[in-house]
A and B are shown apart, each in its own frame.
Chain A
Amino acid sequence: MDLRSRIELTRRARARRERLTRVLATAGAGVVVFTLFAIPVFLAFELLPFAPWPDAIGHALGALLVGTTKATLAALLIALPLGIGAAIYNARFSALRLRNVVRPMLEIVEAFPSVVIGLVAAVWLAPWLRLHLFQVVLFVLGASLLVFAVGHILGSVRRTAAPGLERWLPFFLMPIFALLAILIGISIAPGAGVVPVTPWNSIVIGIALGFAAIPMVFSIAEDALGLVPDRIVDGALALGATRWQALRTLVLPTVAPSLLTAALLAAGRCAGETMIVLMASGNTALATFDPLVGLRTLSADIALTLPVTEPGSGAYRLLMLVTLLLFAFSFALNAGGERIRRKLRRHLSAL
């Protein structure tokens, strides 16, 4: 009798604890769902009051949209080739020891505060690039040609003679690049060719934002490339394909969806990035796609004008609209990107 009542008591206590846990977990999830809806609902609610829109709203919004698009495109132009190229090499050709160093290193770079990248871009890169734009263009062209030459030589020497060469190629290329850079630096004076009117222009933004987005592109692309099973590639090689052919006709088409994901997520990140553009873009709202002039993005506009805007005014409403646009845009890009990535992961793990 005594034992039974004690069991009954324990049973009740356990049931109570069970309920409590459930309630706590549900409350936590409730807060998450609340935030989920708080942002769009709050922004939409702030848009409702019938304050007049400021004059020339179309003009102001247009310039910001053009600025954001320009910054994002410039950044993607830098981040996608470099990030995907680096991922291809790292996942399929690099030495294992190099691979194991590069991945955590870029993971740490991904966590770099953007204000630091903005600082370097605004204070150091922008003034330097203004005088060395021509040299940089020359370097990119020259380096690409050199790299192809190196590849050709690598292809024709017996690889058994230098088996490690290709797997450590990035380090062998660095001195070549350094030499080329010094050569260009000596032969061409600063300020040759085109000099942009302002140091804070879209090219600087492209480089800085692009650099900030590279780790993200890299990790998504590398993740997918590493999931492609070796035996598929081995089969292609056995049938007589070169390694490049196997990569181009087999691996790249398989992981193409995740490259698209990388592009979408990177676009979302670049479009919403605030500190880099705030510091290095000049913040001039110009509705032009000229890469040599400054720009102002949606996010920088919010950071600059919201603290000095009267709540409820027309300008405030415009800012809420801008924020809503930014939210919807990045949310949609992320949702789309994640969906594609999940599908591909399922497909790859079924292979």
Chain B
Amino acid sequence: MKESVSSVARANDKRRGGGDGQGWISLAAASLSIVLAVVLGLLGLLIVSGLGEFWPKTISDVIVRDGHGIESHTIGQIIAANDERLVLRTGELASFGSAYERIRRSEITAVSEPLDALQLILSDGRRVYARSGQTEEILRAALPATLIETQALNAAGFFTRLGIFARQFVHFVRDMPGPSALTGGVFPALVGTLVLVLLMSVLVMPLGIAAAIYLHEYAGHGRRARFVRSAVNSLAGVPAIVYGVLGLGFLVQTLGSDLDRRFYPERLPTPTFASGSLLWASITLALLTLPVVVVSIEEGLARIPPMLRQGALALGATRSETLWRLLLPAARPALLTALVLALARAAGSVAPLMLVGVVKLAPTLPIDGEFPFLHPTRQFMHLGFSVYDLALASPDALIGVPRAFACALLLIGLVVLLNLAAIITR
């Protein structure tokens, strides 16, 4: 049947001179191919730029002749180049954080990639480049730091480089940051993001489940229930920054300073609750994700066949028994989906956090071995904010931007994992 209709369709297309409308159909196909190309291109760009930061690059020896005809060597990795200059990442001997030099192409006499060029990793995390003969001298200059590892990058094969790449990536994920966000790892940002979304889900799930149960079981279908339902739905589309304003204005400045006046007057004017912190940020995100959670749990409850609960009620179960023993277990996939949707949305929204307590460099983790282990009044770091901060507000774009891409890749990885979990569990 289907086949005969489509052959009729083909015959029709043919009779009308073929071209009729086919151009538009192809144009629709073209939109899809552009969208797909952009999505794939974006993913490719993120992966290449994000991981490229950790791939060990070849060390170059650049010989420069200055105005007086004196030649000097500069050893480092070429990280950018255009028609006029080369940008070379040189060793961090003098300054902590990667140092680099800009060299005019007109002054360069030779660029070589010597096989004996080494990357030296020092005990304080600095990276220094040298030819094999210069190692002693450099190590004397680097005191009190000692040499941890010598990597002959230019002589290294693919698998050696892969090993170095993996180690650098692990260090980036696992290490604490250096004195500025431009050095060291992003461990606190990763922990901050995770603790924030976990705290948020602990807050949002009970509330969301309760509200969805109320709307489904007790609210009925009157005008008021319909109003609340559609309002919750519309609330899901309110921009995140508006919740951020609510968080800052109401939670931090009103509620927080009230708590301080009542319970911690001795510490004033140092704020305890009246400044941005993990607590307020997670409450703000919980409010932000609440509509999504309520809507998706209620949909899940509505999908359960009514016969099930009618049977339970007919057997003499009370409403709450039906709910706890039957409906909620049956709605488990919907609960999981709601949770994961909320996690993904929370992990991805940065704008409200900028108002309620995210910082570019936090001295302490929000979670540690010290009683009471979780410190909700501390400020925290967040991967998304690190992306923004490193890319646009860092003093050194040449180092900041690749690190921003690496953070972005971590964040995307986190969000995509959560979403895949949602797609699989439902």
Binds B, one of A1-9, A58-66, A100-108, A284-292: A100-108
The answer to whether B228 touches A33 (Cβ under 8 A) is: yes
B396 CB within 8 Å of chain A: no
The answer to whether B218 touches A46 (Cβ under 8 A) is: no
- Interchain nearest-CB distance for A125 vs B (Å): 10
How far, in whole Å, are A183 and B253 apart by their CA atoms in the complex?
58
A137 CB within 8 Å of chain B: no
Binds A, one of B105-113, B194-202, B401-409: B401-409
The dominant DSSP class at the B interface is: helix
The answer to whether B25 touches A93 (Cβ under 8 A) is: yes
- As a 0/1 sequence over residues 15 to 54 of chain B, the CB contacts with chain A under 8 angstroms (1 = contact) are 0111111111111111111111111001001100100000
Binds A, one of B139-147, B262-270, B349-357: B349-357
State which residues 74-132 of A face B: CB under 8 Å: 81-86, 88-90, 93-94, 102, 104-109, 111-120, 122-124
B22 contact set on A, CB distance < 8 A: 151-152, 154-155, 244
The answer to whether B219 touches A29 (Cβ under 8 A) is: yes
The answer to whether A31 touches B211 (Cβ under 8 A) is: yes
A94 contact set on B, CB distance < 8 A: 29, 32
- As a 0/1 sequence over residues 26 to 45 of chain A, the CB contacts with chain B under 8 angstroms (1 = contact) are 11110111011011001100
B243 contact set on A, CB distance < 8 A: 39
A109 contact set on B, CB distance < 8 A: 39
Q: Given contacts A42-B246, A108-B419, is CB(A273)–CB(B239) below 8 Å?
A: yes
How far, in whole Å, are A196 and B66 apart by their CA atoms in the complex?
37
The answer to whether B384 touches A151 (Cβ under 8 A) is: no
State which residues 180-233 of B face A: CB under 8 Å: 206-215, 217-219, 228, 230-233
Chain B residue, CB-CB nearest to A105:
B39
The answer to whether A242 touches B23 (Cβ under 8 A) is: no
- As a 0/1 sequence over residues 169 to 205 of chain A, the CB contacts with chain B under 8 angstroms (1 = contact) are 1110110010000000000000000000000000000
Interface residue range, chain A: 35 or more
A269 CB within 8 Å of chain B: yes
B240 contact set on A, CB distance < 8 A: 272, 274
The answer to whether B419 touches A116 (Cβ under 8 A) is: no
- Select B23's contact among A32, A151, A265, beta carbons within 8 Å: A151
How far, in whole Å, are A279 and B23 apart by their CA atoms in the complex?
38
Total contacts A-B at CB 8 Å: 342
A238 CB within 8 Å of chain B: yes
- Interchain nearest-CB distance for B78 vs A (Å): 19
B338 CB within 8 Å of chain A: no
B306 CB within 8 Å of chain A: no
A338 CB within 8 Å of chain B: yes
How far, in whole Å, are A123 and B419 apart by their CA atoms in the complex?
26
State which residues 311-335 of A face B: CB under 8 Å: 311, 319-320, 323, 326-327, 330-331, 333-335
The answer to whether A36 touches B217 (Cβ under 8 A) is: no
B391 CB within 8 Å of chain A: yes
- Select B249's contact among A274, A320, A333, beta carbons within 8 Å: A320
- Select B384's contact among A27, A113, A331, beta carbons within 8 Å: A113
The answer to whether B237 touches A268 (Cβ under 8 A) is: yes
B304 contact set on A, CB distance < 8 A: none
How far, in whole Å, are A143 and B405 apart by their CA atoms in the complex?
31
- Interchain nearest-CB distance for A275 vs B (Å): 5
B345 CB within 8 Å of chain A: yes
Q: Given contacts A22-B218, A36-B231, A299-B241, is CB(A170)–CB(B21) below 8 Å?
A: no
B347 CB within 8 Å of chain A: yes
The answer to whether B241 touches A111 (Cβ under 8 A) is: no
The answer to whether B206 touches A112 (Cβ under 8 A) is: no
The answer to whether A279 touches B388 (Cβ under 8 A) is: yes
B321 CB within 8 Å of chain A: yes
How far, in whole Å, are A29 and B242 apart by their CA atoms in the complex?
21
B95 CB within 8 Å of chain A: no
The answer to whether B21 touches A244 (Cβ under 8 A) is: yes
The answer to whether A278 touches B351 (Cβ under 8 A) is: yes
The answer to whether A39 touches B246 (Cβ under 8 A) is: yes
- Interchain nearest-CB distance for A298 vs B (Å): 9
- Select A243's contact among B25, B37, B351, B354, beta carbons within 8 Å: B25
B365 CB within 8 Å of chain A: no
How far, in whole Å, are A218 and B218 apart by their CA atoms in the complex?
35
- B6, B12, B38, B404, most chain A CB atoms within 10 A: B12
How far, in whole Å, are A145 and B412 apart by their CA atoms in the complex?
36
How far, in whole Å, are A242 and B160 apart by their CA atoms in the complex?
61
B120 CB within 8 Å of chain A: no
How far, in whole Å, are A327 and B20 apart by their CA atoms in the complex?
46
Chain A residue, CB-CB nearest to B291:
A32
- Interchain nearest-CB distance for A195 vs B (Å): 17
The answer to whether A148 touches B42 (Cβ under 8 A) is: no
The answer to whether A29 touches B250 (Cβ under 8 A) is: no
A343 CB within 8 Å of chain B: no
The answer to whether B211 touches A29 (Cβ under 8 A) is: yes
The answer to whether B245 touches A89 (Cβ under 8 A) is: no
A256 CB within 8 Å of chain B: no
The answer to whether A104 touches B215 (Cβ under 8 A) is: no
- Interchain nearest-CB distance for A209 vs B (Å): 13
The answer to whether B351 touches A35 (Cβ under 8 A) is: no
- A38, A148, A339, most chain B CB atoms within 10 A: A148
B9 CB within 8 Å of chain A: yes
B26 contact set on A, CB distance < 8 A: 147-148, 150-151, 154, 169, 173
- Select A89's contact among B29, B237, B384, B415, beta carbons within 8 Å: B29
- As a 0/1 sequence over residues 409 to 426 of chain B, the CB contacts with chain A under 8 angstroms (1 = contact) are 001100110111001000
- Interchain nearest-CB distance for A348 vs B (Å): 18
B392 CB within 8 Å of chain A: yes
A14 contact set on B, CB distance < 8 A: 318, 321
Chain A residue, CB-CB nearest to B257:
A311
Further 20 A-B residue pairs, CB within 8 A, beyond A306-B355, A326-B242: A22-B218, A25-B214, A28-B207, A29-B215, A32-B290, A36-B232, A86-B32, A108-B416, A113-B408, A113-B415, A114-B348, A115-B388, A122-B391, A173-B30, A211-B42, A237-B5, A242-B9, A274-B239, A275-B384, A323-B242
Interchain residue pairs with CB less than 8 A apart (17)? A21-B213, A21-B320, A21-B323, A33-B228, A89-B29, A116-B411, A116-B412, A123-B404, A147-B23, A147-B26, A147-B27, A237-B8, A241-B12, A244-B21, A272-B242, A331-B237, A335-B233
In the A-B complex, the 5 residue pairs with the smallest Cβ-Cβ separation, listed nearest first, are: A244-B21, A28-B210, A272-B239, A85-B31, A155-B18
